[in-house]
Amino acid sequence: MRVEIWSDIACPWCYVGKARFEKALAAFPHRDEVEVVHRSFELDPGRAKDDVQPVLTMLAKKYGMSEAQARAGEDNLAAQAAAEGLEYRTRDRDHGNTFDMHRLLHLAREQGRQDELIQRLYRANFAEEQSVFNDDERLVGIAVGAGLDEAEVRKVLADPGAYADEVRADEREAAQLGANGVPFFVLDRKYGVSGAQPAEVFERALTQAWGERSPLTLIEDGGADACGPDGCAVPPRG
């Protein structure tokens, strides 16, 4: 079974939601048969790469709230993150363009390191002091720490077109699936779960999706020559 997760590194609920989903997955009896794929979704796709600003300032401007209200919201998020065992800095974080991070996540998927990279990006953005925005050297260090080849990482960052089509394809697909926000979880292209739901919701979704998988219907059952674990059928001599 495949679970696809549309998310953005700048999204705190994606950070929390991933932890809740993984708690449910860890308890799922068939967890070793579940493939998890991370898909791209930019919360602020029109933001220039060098347009970086404090999170509190961004929140106040975007939602028309005071900085005091923005701080209260960040404190609430920190409490939600702590309940999942996550670190969360409520002050002095910043916000920026995440397009390069998504491009690197597509590179990481090809190398089987996608989950490791996204987790390190989340931690870098929400728990560590140094910014992840508009700093290629910072991204190189994070990606190499996740097991990616440094030369390949630098090659992707130096070429704005590398994996750009893959990122945009993910975003178009999210729109087609009706994802207006993230995190957005799609199970076997049959069920969707929106938001950072409690682990219990993810547990029910995994169980339901697994139980309702359609068995393969054979158009012709047997009779034709084929190869299997014991070898290949040998046609009789005429």
Taking 70 as the threshold, does the pLDDT of residue 3 lie above it?
Answer: yes
Taking 80 as the threshold, does the pLDDT of residue 175 lie above it?
Answer: yes
Return the closest-CA partner of residue 156 out of 87, 110, 91.
110
Residue 222's pLDDT is what?
53
Instruction: Quote the pTM value.
Output: 0.89
Average pLDDT over residues 190-201: 96
Residue 233's pLDDT is what?
55
Note the Cα 147 to chain centre separation in Å: 17
Average pLDDT over residues 182-187: 97
User: Amino acid identity of 44?
Assistant: D
Taking 70 as the threshold, does the pLDDT of residue 139 lie above it?
Answer: yes
Taking 60 as the threshold, does the pLDDT of residue 101 lie above it?
Answer: yes
User: Amino acid identity of 133?
Assistant: F
Residue 167's pLDDT is what?
98
Distance CA 21, CA 5 (A): 10
Residue 76's pLDDT is what?
96
End-to-end CA distance of the chain: 45
Rg over alpha carbons for the chain, rounded to the nearest Å, is: 21
Both tokens of residue 75?
Answer: 């404190």
Average pLDDT over residues 7-28: 98
Note the Cα 185 to chain centre separation in Å: 9
* 139 burial via Cβ count (<10 Å: 0-12, 13-18, 19+): buried
Split at pLDDT 50, 70, 90, the class of 75 is: very high
* Residue with token string 């009896």: 29
Distance CA 149, CA 161 (A): 19
Residue 212's pLDDT is what?
86
Taking 80 as the threshold, does the pLDDT of residue 47 lie above it?
Answer: yes
According to DSSP, the residues that pair with 231 across neighbouring strands are: 228
Taking 70 as the threshold, does the pLDDT of residue 202 lie above it?
Answer: yes
Q: Which residue has the higher pLDDT, 237 or 142?
A: 142
Residue 213's pLDDT is what?
80
